[in-house]
Amino acid sequence: MNIAVLSIGDELLGGRILDTNAAWISGEVARTGGRVSQRGTVGDERSCIAEAVNRLSGVADVLVTTGGLGPTTDDLTRFAAADLIDGGVVIDDADAIAVVQAWCERVGLPPSEARAMVAKRPPSADFLSNDQGTAPGLRFVLNDCVVWMLPGPPSEMRSMFTRHVAASLCAGGSSRAIEVRASGLTEVQAADLLGDRLDRSRSPQLGIRVGRGLIRVTAQDLAGDCMQDAIDSAAADVQAVLEPWSLPVGCSSLADAVAYALRGVQWTCATAESCTGGGIGAALTDVPGSSDWFVGGFITYSNALKSSLLGVPVALLGENGPGAVSAEVVEAMARGARDRSGADIAVAVSGVAGPDGGSPEKPVGTVWIGISDAAGTTSRRIRVPGDRPFVRRGTIQVAMQWLRWRVDGVDEALQWEQPS
């Protein structure tokens, strides 16, 4: 699991105190069998906090922040979170205010408007109880990353990390876990396939979650009484049950799985992209060594470039043709990309990402995907739900899924596939 830590506070940047929180968290993560891959520090500036949280959540599965949740005017973490997930709207939570007031009474402090400020949260974030102080923590999901926001005082942070975060990561310092990843299924579909294997009373225990566009099923020894062979066997069983959606062992992303498939047959590939604007090529070239099998791509956003660079017949794009978002055009794009690049296989996409441009016949989210290889050229239509960023991300994922399946000879319905 890819875990990042962000420390927040001017006193840290100014060198007035040492950042012992980050070191302690890294040690506790290691005790669960995990590893902190990135750590950062940012001052008490709302926009800087938001930028750092957004950046780190984009590259991590779990992000833990400390600091900036107190009652003073420089405690801005909750407001930065609200800017990212709820458009800056922060609401008062009556239950949290009651908890703060009860804590003040218990330790002999008068309640105040300043202390009540810690009971404010973004509407879509969950509160985390604080048994050592007044400031609750926050939990929410951003960029498919689970974000845990904890207060800065070490006693409060450590207690909350142990009770909330560590319990979620592995529920114990000696836990052992193997993660199986799959693409193209919803969490519910994966759970249906796994059935009673997800029974929480079984050992090793299976946990399922969605993260960074993938289904992640973890086989883990929470009780500390399983042999490694049992954990390995449970993970292999999950791998088999989720075929052909499960990624090959050792592949951490769908792009890794594409690379695995292409290397297996010693093929090269190319891309031709319209609505994704180069996103498929970017995802593929994130894989180290991609120059061995990825020859390049064409970003043909305009109809003119579809014709001039890929040889798409002008008639297909004209008033009397099927238009850019059609089977005929993506098939021509895929053929053109393969012919002009010399690749063994090419994938092409053209769609309506929105928010404008849709029609009754081609509503927003409609995307055609074409593939061309030595066996021929074909296409499929999907309709991706959601806003423009989600349509683009979803298209990239489905296009890569079909690419690896085509190489592997798998004939399975794609996620969101529509009748042609």
Reported as a single tens digit per residue, the pLDDT across 200-259 is 888 888 988 887 789 989 887 755 567 778 989 999 999 999 999 999 999 989 999 999
More confident residue, 106 or 85: 85
Distance of CA 212 to the CA centre of its chain: 2
User: Tens digit of pLDDT for each residue in 287-305?
Assistant: 999 999 999 999 999 999 9
Give the confidence band of 101 by pLDDT, cuts at 50, 70, 90.
low
Q: Give residue 108's pLDDT.
A: 74
CA-to-CA separations, 312 to 300, 302, 336, 341, 370, in angstroms, rounded: 11, 11, 7, 15, 13
Residue 45 has pLDDT above 60, yes or no: yes
Closest by CA to 338, choosing from 394, 268, 400, 399, is: 268
Residue 50 has pLDDT above 70, yes or no: yes
More confident residue, 118 or 114: 118
Q: What are phi and psi of 180, to 5 degrees?
A: -105, 130
SS3 of 417, please?
strand
- Separation of first and last alpha carbons in the chain: 39
- Non-local (6+) Cβ contacts of 320 within 8 A are none
Q: Give residue 357's pLDDT.
A: 94
pLDDT, average across residues 365-385: 98
Give the confidence band of 323 by pLDDT, cuts at 50, 70, 90.
very high
Residue 31 has pLDDT above 50, yes or no: yes
Q: Give residue 213's pLDDT.
A: 84
- Non-local (6+) Cβ contacts of 56 within 8 A are 4, 6, 38, 40, 63, 145
Q: Give residue 159's pLDDT.
A: 94
In terms of Cβ atoms closer than 10 Å to its own Cβ (0-12, 13-18, 19+), residue 58 is middle
More confident residue, 35 or 293: 293
Q: Give residue 175's pLDDT.
A: 47
Closest by CA to 350, choosing from 255, 292, 272, 237, is: 272
Q: How far apart are CA 187 and CA 349, in angstroms?
A: 26
Describe the crossing of helices 327-341 and 303-310 by its angle, rounded to 10 degrees. 40
Q: Give residue 415's pLDDT.
A: 97
Q: Give residue 135's pLDDT.
A: 82
What b-and-e string marks burial along 95-115, b requiring 16 or more CB atoms within 10 Å of the CB? ebbebbbebbeeeeeeeeeeb
Residue 95 has pLDDT above 70, yes or no: no
Closest by CA to 129, choosing from 161, 172, 171, 85, is: 161
pLDDT, average across residues 77-86: 91
Q: Give residue 343's pLDDT.
A: 98
Q: What are phi and psi of 157, to 5 degrees?
A: -60, -45
Residue 73 has pLDDT above 90, yes or no: no
Q: Give residue 94's pLDDT.
A: 64
Q: Give residue 174's pLDDT.
A: 43
Amino acid at the residue 141: V
What b-and-e string marks burial along 336-354, b requiring 16 or more CB atoms within 10 Å of the CB? bbbebbebbbbbbbbbbbb
Residue 412 has pLDDT above 50, yes or no: yes
User: Tens digit of pLDDT for each residue in 132-155?
Assistant: 887 889 999 999 899 999 999 999
- Lookup: tokens for 397: 């994922």
Tell me the average pLDDT of the chain.
90
In terms of Cβ atoms closer than 10 Å to its own Cβ (0-12, 13-18, 19+), residue 150 is buried
Residue 172 has pLDDT above 90, yes or no: no
Write down the pTM of the prediction.
0.65
